[in-house]
Amino acid sequence: MTTDLEAPREPLLVVEDLHTVFHTPRGDVRAVDGVSFAVAPGETLGLVGESGSGKSVLGRTVMGLISNAQTTTVTGRVLLGGQDIHALDRGRRRRLWGTEVAMVFQDPMTSLNPVKRIGAHLTETLRSHLSCSRKEATERGTDLLRQVGIPEPARRMTQYPHELSGGMRQRVVIALALTCDPRLLIADEPTTALDVTVQKQILDLLARLTEERHMAMILVSHDLGAVVGRTDRVQVMYAGRTVESGDTRPVFAAPGHHYTDALLGSIPQLTNAPHTLLRSIEGSPPDMTRPPTGCRFAPRCGRADETCVEVPPPLLPALGGDGRKVACHHSLIPTEELSHGR
């Protein structure tokens, strides 16, 4: 992670006005609707929001796993090291996977082939991308398992996925993602279905590897607690759009959007008295085939008025110069538009 004293660096990844639209019999689903951001080497960006907010689709679109097809339309630019991923043909895009950008998927059991040994997963990837011998691939694969904290890595290379615990399988998936030293790592809900202790171990492992390898990382999570202290910046998504973005600490200390505030309010606190009821967000996310006309959070927001219902709020810079942006007509912190008499 970067520190406050470090000078800004050139971004490795730049996403500009990205849209991902699925064409369904019920209508078009704008899963990602005009999202932009940038990530520099050694920096970690957190993508947070409820399930269905578009986080995973955004990650897969950035990766290039979702592209234009009969049932899908992708527009906008995804620049990795200045190269537009979506302008490449599928063959050239595939050559970037593993070597330039890699992904840690949220369910290791569906990411690993149940009839292939762990060693086969690792050596196949290494030999395919790096053209090394079987012996070299086996040695490197064993070392990767050691790096991600798996005990007895040589023995684990001979085992099948079902013989490992959930935490170990997730570590194997991380090792697979790191086989070819990618410059960008996308971790999509990497701690789903793991117990709290193992969650911390996996998140600490990702943070350490990002720092050691000077990678850029996008951490996708619906758990705001998972990104505190492990991300440099955070992007809060709701119904396919960015509602707030900025440095993690200021956003968590004083959220500007009512949705961000509601998410933070739903986190259990150690200071709460026993049997304290958890705060919840009323209502449900919108039907993305028929999203609200104005602010998409308006039907669930206690501060919404006629303007919120009718006019989509722009993503505006907050006053103070810390780079924060908020998309809210009644922002909890002053924004440039609100400072001009609104």
| pLDDT tens digits, 97-146 | 888 999 998 777 788 999 999 999 999 888 887 878 889 999 999 999 99
For residue 142, the model assigns a pLDDT of 95
List the 216-221 sheet strands across, edge first: 101-104, 184-188, 216-221, 44-48, 233-238, 241-247, 325-326, 316-317
In a domain, 106, yes or no: no
| Mean pLDDT, residues 234-263 | 95
Q: How confident is the model at residue 339 (pLDDT cuts 50, 70, 90)?
A: low
Mean pLDDT of the chain: 89
What is the domain range of residue 303?
A: 257-342
| Mean pLDDT, residues 149-153 | 92
In a domain, 279, yes or no: yes
Contact (CB, 8 A) for 78 and 60 = no
For residue 8, the model assigns a pLDDT of 57
Q: Flag whether pLDDT at 4 surpasses 50.
A: no
Distances (CA, A) of 210 to 42, 50, 322: 6, 25, 24
In a domain, 175, yes or no: no
Which candidate, 24, 91, 33, 25, places its Cα nearest to that of 64? 91
20's enclosing H/E stretch is strand 13-24
Note the pLDDT tens digit of each residue in 83-100: 999 888 888 888 888 889
In a domain, 268, yes or no: yes
In a domain, 310, yes or no: yes
In a domain, 151, yes or no: no
In a domain, 313, yes or no: yes
Burial class (CB in 10 A: 0-12, 13-18, 19+), 10: exposed
Note the pLDDT tens digit of each residue in 180-222: 889 999 999 888 767 788 888 888 888 888 888 899 999 998 8
Composition of the chain by helix, strand, coil, percent to 5: 35, 25, 45
Note the pLDDT tens digit of each residue in 291-312: 999 999 999 998 999 999 999 9
239 three-state secondary structure: coil
261's enclosing H/E stretch is helix 258-265
Q: Flag whether pLDDT at 48 surpasses 70.
A: yes
Domain total in the chain: 1
